[in-house]
Amino acid sequence: MGEIAERIEQLRLSALDCRGCELCETRTNVVFGEGNPETPLIVIGEGPGQNEDATGRPFVGRAGQLLDQALKENNLSRKHVYIMNVIKCRACITENGRTRNRPPSTAEINACSHWLEKQVAIIQPLVVLCLGAPAANAIIHRDFRMTQERGQFFETKYARHAIAALHPAYILRQDGETYELTRRQLVEDIGAARRKVIEAKKEPNMTLF
């Protein structure tokens, strides 16, 4: 294992015991992140849902399948990128015996942010791709306006280049032409992130990943 992978693994092992907020009471698994820790491209979602909580792996439900397809349409896979979330444990609410996802609170996001900061500090990506407004709010700037600002690059403290794309779960809730359009936008924004990596490395070839 390389040095970066080893440091990420050490960090993952310490995150598994995290009791930094009350989400530790209801989680099944900490969803730390996975992929290639030597990558120049990190993909960041909001937080684990039911499937991710059950498996301990990010983006493994339907949204994850769409993400995998959109990566594939750009000749990328999970071996090329590192995928993680802003929060590492599922935020959920149980009502009448049914459990559903809820947006994480600001306090939960703040309590978890040191894990993300450490992950990014170890990986040192050239480009961060945020999926959805909550990730863009955490990484790019507060009050991120997805409709106007998706697909644009911003300089951030996490990476020289950060871009936001529509969240695959949002795309899956669209119908017909809107579904096709938003899906295409996701593929395009991943493509833009990929090209930015190549540009940032100043090596205009496709063998970098």
Contact residues for ligand URA, defined by CB under 6 A: 45-49, 52, 58-59, 63-64, 85, 169
Minimum separation from the CB atom of position 40 to ligand URA (A): 21
Q: Which whole-number Å values give the CA distances from 175 to 159, 172, 209, in the listed order?
A: 34, 8, 33
Q: Which whole-number Å values give the CA distances from 51 to 16, 34, 61, 160, 180, in the listed order?
A: 17, 15, 6, 32, 25
Decide whether 54 or 200 has the Cβ nearer to ligand URA: 54
Minimum separation from the CB atom of position 81 to ligand URA (A): 13
Minimum separation from the CB atom of position 135 to ligand URA (A): 7
Closest CA to 103 of 19, 165, 170, 158: 170
d(CA 93, CA 26): 9
Decide whether 35 or 64 has the Cβ nearer to ligand URA: 64
Decide whether 104 or 125 has the Cβ nearer to ligand URA: 104
Let me know: does 130 contact 145? Beta carbons within 8 Å.
no
Q: Which residue is nearest to ligand URA (CB)?
A: 45
Minimum separation from the CB atom of position 189 to ligand URA (A): 15
Decide whether 89 or 198 has the Cβ nearer to ligand URA: 89
| Residue located via tokens 């863009």 | 136
